[in-house]
Amino acid sequence: MSDEPLLKVSNLTKFYGSRLGCADVNFELYPGEVLAIVGESGSGKTTLLNTLSANLEPTSGEALYRMRDGSWRNIYELSEAERRFLTRTDWGFVHQNPADGLRMTVSAGANVGERLMAVGDRHYGCIRDTALDWLGRVEIATDRIDDQPRSFSGGMRQRLQIARNLVTGPRLVFMDEPTGGLDVSVQARLLDLLRQLVGELGLSAIVVTHDLAVARLLSHRMMVMKGGHVIEAGLTDRVLDDPREPYTQLLVSSILQV
């Protein structure tokens, strides 16, 4: 891991009218680091993720991102063109429901290739080879390249969504319950794959999950949210093995009973 962080978040707060989404969130994320945000539904973790990924405008606070040229930029002050460029090159977003992140009526190959074409790749053969390579890396049979994701299983769709996001070599990936809605056996395989890819590519990732097992397997550090506030943060093993807050203790004990 590098000495310099990739993302510096300070005092990030989001209100929906008078209702609190999340408040006073502070953290730094380093290259290659995976941060899990856990909490039950309504805790503000999804609001935080959507704000961090610039899908929502915060009410106050800032998030500084170290661009590829080394300059620091507050992501909320980027122009729309810069932001959209960032989100389709240097960032990825893995949705819980793959249909939200894929073009369901376009072939798997084009789903993977779209980002390449968006940044100017104009060689069909190269785009196709890259797509084939990525399908292989996410364990999708290469003879499915011309099939639409509609004909894919839930696990395959999720793996395709991951490939689609990673093809431009992003440095930061946001994931919203990436294993939610999948069977337990499929979940395990996907987690394995994710962990391997993140490690190989040295990706930074912010993963929202209600599942502590996901946090344990994937993340280096974690933040526990409740009522819009971060109530506990630290190294994942520390938080899970030695939770300090009563609420975290409750969460941890409930998972252990499963």
Applying CB under 8 A, the residues found at the interface with other proteins are 17-18, 80-81, 84, 88, 103, 106-107, 109-110, 113-115, 117-119, 122-125, 127-128, 145-146
Backbone phi and psi for residue 27, each to the nearest 5 degrees, phi listed first = -170, 165
Task: Name the minimum Å distance from CB 212 to other proteins.
Answer: 32
Task: Name the minimum Å distance from CB 73 to other proteins.
Answer: 18
Tokens of 249: 């203790």
Cβ proximity to other proteins: between 84 and 150 the closer is 84
Cβ proximity to other proteins: between 13 and 107 the closer is 107
Q: Rounded to 10 degrees, what is the CA torsion of 126, 128, 134, 138?
A: -170
Task: Name the minimum Å distance from CB 90 to other proteins.
Answer: 16
Task: Name the minimum Å distance from CB 55 to other proteins.
Answer: 15
Please give the full DSSP string across 119-180, using - where no structure is assigned. Answer: TT---HHHHHHHHHHHHHHTT--GGGTTS-GGGS-HHHHHHHHHHHHHTT--SEEEEESTTT
Which single residue is written with the structure tokens 């394995």? 192
Cβ proximity to other proteins: between 105 and 257 the closer is 105
Cβ proximity to other proteins: between 13 and 89 the closer is 89
Query: Is residue 208 exposed (0-12), middle (13-18) or buried (19+ Cβ within 10 Å)?
Result: buried
Task: Name the minimum Å distance from CB 84 to other proteins.
Answer: 6
Cβ proximity to other proteins: between 16 and 72 the closer is 16
